[in-house]
Chains A and B, each alone.
Chain A
Amino acid sequence: MSGPDSIVGARLPRLEAQGKINGAARYTDDLYRPFMLHGAILGSAYPHARILACDTAKAERLPGVEAVISAKDFPYLPMGAIVKDETVLARNKVRYVGEPVAAVAAVDLAIALHALKLIEVEYEELPAVLDMDQALAPGAPIIHEDLPKYFKIFDCRFGGNVLSEQSIIEGDVDAAFPTCDVVVEGEYRTQAQAHAYLEPSAALAEVDDRDKITIWSSHQSINRVQANVCEALGLPMAQVRVVTPRVGGGFGGKMEATVQPIAAALALKTKRPVKIVLSREDDFAMMRSRHPARIWMRTGARRDGTLVAREVKLILDGGAYSDDSPGVLAFGLYMARGPYRIANFRATGKLVYTNKLRASGFRGFGNPQVTFAGESQLDELAEKLAVDPIDLRLRNAIRTGDKWVGGQTVNSSGLAECLQKVRSRSDWDKRRRARSQSGATTLRGIGVAALSHICGVLGTSAIVRLAEDGSIVLNTGAVDIGQGADTALAQICAEALQVDIARINSVSPDTDASPYNWGTAASRVTYMAGRAVAAAAGALKQKMFDQAAAMLECSASDLELVRGGAVRVAGTDKRVSFFEISLRAHYGIGGPLIGEHSFVYDGEPFDLKRTTMVGFPFSNLGVHTFGAQAVEVEVDPDTGKITPLAAWLAHDVGRAINPLAVEGQIEGGFVQGLGYALCEELVWDAGRLTNPTMMDYKIPGTLDVPLQIESIIVEETEPSGPFGAKGVGEPGIVGVAPAIANALAAATGIRIKHLPLTAERVFTALAGN
C-alpha cells in the first residue's frame, strides 16, 4: 500500500505551514483572555541559601497587584518525573540562582515586575557547590539534606550529593584489555548547552466556575504538564486541563513543567486568567540545560582492527534538581559502547547535584556526550592502527541481527550503508588524502562520526474516528513542537485508510479530549504514536469493512480500500463510500465508528543474565536508529577558528514518512550540533550565569553554517515501525561534535577532548604543539 503515489513517503510541507508563515498561528504569548493578568517570577539571588523570611506585604499593596505567592501559600508537595525533589516555589532553601522564590500577578507586566522588587527575601547564604568536583569532595555541603526521604520511582543508589549511581557490565573488561594490541584512553569534557528554543517558556491559566483550570502552554507533553501541575498544587487530574497552542520549539526543555504550575497557582488565587511569559534572560536562568559531563573512557582493539573492550566512567552534572537526569545518565551509559560489536564493556556513572540550573533532557539525552568521547577514540585508534577511520567503523559496525548492550536484538541497522554513503558522497578518500600540508595558511581536514540512537519508550495511544461526513478524525495527544508530527501522523493515517490527507482532521492535544501520550521526546512520536495510529486506523478500517460487507452483501474479507475514501468488493466496481458507511453507522445500524489502539513500548526487555545493570531505571528502551556524519573543516592557525565547510549526514530512519521533514530534522540537528561543537556554552561565575542572553549565548546563524549540507536518507526497514519507520528527532545532533573534533585532528594533528572547540581552545592547543 505504498506505491509511487503513496502518501507515506511524500515530501509534504507542514499541514499548518500557511498559518505559521502568514502570522495567523497562535503561540501561548499570542493568546489574550478577558481580564487577563500578567505574571512575573522572582528568582533566587543566591546559588545556595536558606530562606529566613519572605515578606510580600509591600508588593501586595502596590496598586494593580492582584496576588503574590511564595512557598508559604502551598503545602509541601514535591514534584518530579523520577525523583520528587522540587517544589513549585523554593521552600526553606534555594539551590540555584534564578530558582523561583515568589511570583506576582498584576494587571500589567510593568506593575508585576515592579512588585517583584518590593518582595523582601531574607537569605542566609550557604556554601555553594558549583561543579562536580565540589559536589563529590569529602565534606561537601549537602544540597538536598532530605534526599533519603524523597519519593523515587526506582532504586537510584543515592548518597551525599550523588543522586544516582548506575552501571552496565557485559563480558569482562579486566580480562580483555590485556589481550588488546592497541588501547587508547582519555578524559573528555562537555559543557552545558542551552535549549534556546526561539519561543521562551510560557503559560496561560484560567479557572472556570467549578475551579477547573485550563492551561495553554508551550510544552512537549500535555500529560506531563498535567501531572506536574497536579503534583505541585495537590489537585486531581479532573481539575486540570492542558491544551496546546502552537509550540515554538522544545528540544527536551519543555518536556516537564516550566511555568505552568506557577501560572495555575496564580489563576487559582486570583480567579482570573494569568499569563506568564518568561523573558529570554529568565528562561536561560530559570529553566534547563544539557548536562555538563566528564567522561573517562578507554577502548582496546586487536591489531586487525577488531574492537575488544571499552570501559567508561561517566559523571553528569545534574544541577539543582533531578528532572529527567537519572534517565539521561542511564541512556548515556547505554549508548557509551557506541554502535559497535564490543564484547567486553563496563560503564559506570554518577549523577551529581550542584547549585546550578537543573540539567534535563535535551536532544540526544546523554548520547552526544558519550558519543563525543567514543567517536574521538575510534579515530585515535584508527590513527594508531594506521587504518582509515571509516574502515575501522565498518569493520566493527552493528549489523541487523546483532545485540545491543542489554541483549536487545537490533532488527534494522543501516549503519554500514550510512558509512558507505557518507564515504562516497563526500568523496572521503580524496579529501582524506588532500589534508593540509604543514606551513599552509589554512588547514583543512575531514572527520567522521558514527552514531546510534533509539526511538521508543513508555505509553502512547491513538483514536481514529469516522466523522459524519466520511472524513477522519485523528487524535493522539502527541504534541507537534515544530518537528512535524501532525503532518507525519496524518500521512500515516491517510495511507492506512487510503484517503486524501485533507480528509484527516488532526485534533490538537488536549488532556480532556485526547488519549494518553507520554510526550514528544526520545525521538518517539513517528515510531510510537505512528504505530498506534496505524493500528487504530486498521481497527477503524475493519469496522468500516463490517458495515460495507452488509451494504454490499459480501464477506468483509472480500473487501478492499479504494483510494479517495471508499470500499469495494475486490476486483469489481461494487463500492460504497466512507460517507455512505458513516451515514449507515450514525443513523441506521451499529453506531459511530471508532478505531483505537494503545500500548507501552513493547521491545525485548533487558536480559539481566547477559548484562549486569545496576541502578538502571528502564527495563527496555526502544528500537535503534543509526547514522554517520562527516564534516570538512578549515582551521585558521592564526586564530584557532574552525570553519565548517561542508557536511554529509546519512541517517537510517527505517522509512521516511515525509522525506522533507526528515531532512529538516537532520539539518536542524546538525546545526544545533555545530553550536554544541564550536561555540555554545552556558558559563557560570560564582553560581551566577554570565551569559543569559541571545547576545552573549550565541546560537548558529546563517553565516555560521556550511554552504554545503547534504542530508542522506537511508531506509533500512524497521519491522516493528509504522510502514517501517523509525524516529529521527534527535540523531542529527549526536555525531557532530566528534566529527568536527576528528576533522580538527585530521587538519592539525591536534586532538581536543574538551567542548566546545572554541577558537581560543584550538589556538592554545596549536600554540602548545
Chain B
Amino acid sequence: MTISRTIHVNGKARRAVIEGSETLLDVLRDQFGLTGAKRGCNQGVCGSCTVLIDRKAARSCLFLAALADKSEIVTVEGLATDGKLSPVQQAFVDAGAVQCGFCMPGMVIAATALLAEIAAPNAEDIRAGLAGNLCRCSGYVKVVAAVRRAVASKDVG
C-alpha cells in the first residue's frame, strides 16, 4: 500500500509516493536524488544517514518517511548557501577532517546540530555530540578539531 505525502526538505516542498515501510533515507535517496545521506549500517548505529529533522540530528534510516510530512528536513545538501559551504562544513574541509568522506555528511550534520544547541562546546561536549557518528578513517582528531575551528570562526565572524 502506498501513500502520498508532501515532505519539506531543504526549504522545498516535495511530493513522494511512499510504501508504508519506507524510511526517510529511502525516499531522500531514491525519490529526491538527495544521496548525501549514506546507508552505512541501516540500523541506526553508524550515523552516516544523519539528517536534521526539525533542527535535531536524527537517523533517517530509522525514521519512517510517511511520518516526515509534519517536519522540516535538512540534509547535507541543504547546509550550503548559494553554493558556499556553511562555516561548519568549511571548518571540516580546512581542518583536514575529510578522508574517504562516507561518514562526513552525517558527521557534519551532527556537528551542525550540536553547535545549534551549544554555541561554545568544550572538548567533552564535542565528543559527546559526535558519539553517534562512526568514522573509520580519521581517528576523530581532525573531526573534533574541525568543530573547534567552526566555533572559533563563529566567534571571529
Interface residues of A (CB under 8 A from B): 11, 13-14, 16-27, 29-30, 196-200, 246-249, 251, 277, 279-280, 481-484, 660-661, 663-664, 667-672, 693-695, 699, 701-703, 705, 707, 709, 711
Q: Which residue of A lies closest to B101 (CB)?
A: A20
Residue contact B108 to A699, C-beta cutoff 8 Å: no
Chain B residues bordering chain A, tally (CB within 8 A): 54
Interface contacts (Cβ under 8 Å), in number, total: 179
Contact of A663 among B133, B135, B142 (CB under 8 A): B142
Beyond A13-B95, A699-B136: 14 further Cβ-contacts under 8 Å?
A: A21-B76, A21-B85, A23-B105, A26-B35, A27-B102, A30-B35, A198-B38, A198-B103, A249-B100, A277-B39, A482-B101, A483-B100, A660-B142, A694-B134
Taking A21-B108, A699-B134 as contacts, is the C-beta distance between A693 and B102 under 8 angstroms?
Answer: no
**B128 surroundings in chain A (CB, below 8 A):** 702-703
Residue contact A703 to B141, C-beta cutoff 8 Å: no
**B104 surroundings in chain A (CB, below 8 A):** 20-21
Question: Whole-angstrom distance between the alpha carbons of A27 and B100 in the complex?
Answer: 10
**B138 surroundings in chain A (CB, below 8 A):** 664, 667-668, 671
Question: Whole-angstrom distance between the alpha carbons of A19 and B133 in the complex?
Answer: 19
Q: Does B94 contact A (CB under 8 A)?
A: yes
Taking A18-B85, A25-B101, A199-B102 as contacts, is the C-beta distance between A11 and B136 under 8 angstroms?
Answer: no
Residue contact B102 to A198, C-beta cutoff 8 Å: yes
**A16 surroundings in chain B (CB, below 8 A):** 101
Taking A198-B46, A199-B40 as contacts, is the C-beta distance between A21 and B142 under 8 angstroms?
Answer: no
Residue contact B96 to A663, C-beta cutoff 8 Å: yes
Question: Whole-angstrom distance between the alpha carbons of A481 and B102 in the complex?
Answer: 10
Residue contact B96 to A693, C-beta cutoff 8 Å: no
**A703 surroundings in chain B (CB, below 8 A):** 127-128, 131
Interface centre among A20, A199, A481, A663 (most CB of B within 10 A): A20
Q: Does B79 contact A (CB under 8 A)?
A: yes
Task: Tell me the smallest distance from the CB of A512 to a CB of chain B, in Å.
Answer: 24
Contact of B40 among A11, A280, A664, A701 (CB under 8 A): A280
Q: Could you pull out 5 A-B pairs where Cβ atoms are within 8 angstroms? A: A197-B136, A199-B38, A664-B137, A668-B139, A702-B127
**B100 surroundings in chain A (CB, below 8 A):** 20, 197-199, 246-249, 481-483
**A13 surroundings in chain B (CB, below 8 A):** 93-96, 98
Taking A198-B38, A482-B137, A699-B134 as contacts, is the C-beta distance between A14 and B98 under 8 angstroms?
Answer: yes
User: Quick one: CB contact mask for B39-79 with A, threshold 8 Å, 1 for yes?
Assistant: 11111011010000000000000000000000000011101
Task: Tell me the smallest distance from the CB of B40 to a CB of chain A, in Å.
Answer: 5
Residue contact A693 to B43, C-beta cutoff 8 Å: yes
**B46 surroundings in chain A (CB, below 8 A):** 198, 280, 694
Residue contact B140 to A705, C-beta cutoff 8 Å: yes
Residue contact B141 to A667, C-beta cutoff 8 Å: yes
Contact of B85 among A22, A249, A671, A711 (CB under 8 A): A22
Task: Tell me the smallest distance from the CB of B113 to a CB of chain A, in Å.
Answer: 15
**A670 surroundings in chain B (CB, below 8 A):** 139
Residue contact B140 to A702, C-beta cutoff 8 Å: yes
**B40 surroundings in chain A (CB, below 8 A):** 198-200, 280, 694
Residue contact B102 to A248, C-beta cutoff 8 Å: yes
Contact of A21 among B37, B101, B136, B140 (CB under 8 A): B101
Q: Which residue of A lies closest to B124 (CB)?
A: A707
Question: Whole-angstrom distance between the alpha carbons of A695 and B92 in the complex?
Answer: 27
Q: Which residue of B lies closest to A246 (CB)?
A: B101
Task: Tell me the smallest distance from the CB of A525 to a CB of chain B, in Å.
Answer: 14
Task: Tell me the smallest distance from the CB of B48 to a CB of chain A, in Å.
Answer: 6
Task: Tell me the smallest distance from the CB of B2 to a CB of chain A, in Å.
Answer: 13
Give 9 nearest A-B pairs by CB, closest first: A23-B36, A482-B100, A20-B101, A248-B102, A667-B139, A671-B139, A30-B35, A23-B76, A660-B96
**A695 surroundings in chain B (CB, below 8 A):** 41, 43, 45
Q: Which residue of A lies closest to B33 (CB)?
A: A32
Interface centre among B85, B89, B92, B102 (most CB of A within 10 A): B102
Question: Whole-angstrom distance between the alpha carbons of A701 and B45 in the complex?
Answer: 11
Residue contact A694 to B41, C-beta cutoff 8 Å: yes
Q: Does B123 contact A (CB under 8 A)?
A: yes
**B105 surroundings in chain A (CB, below 8 A):** 21, 23
Question: Whole-angstrom distance between the alpha carbons of A23 and B102 in the complex?
Answer: 9
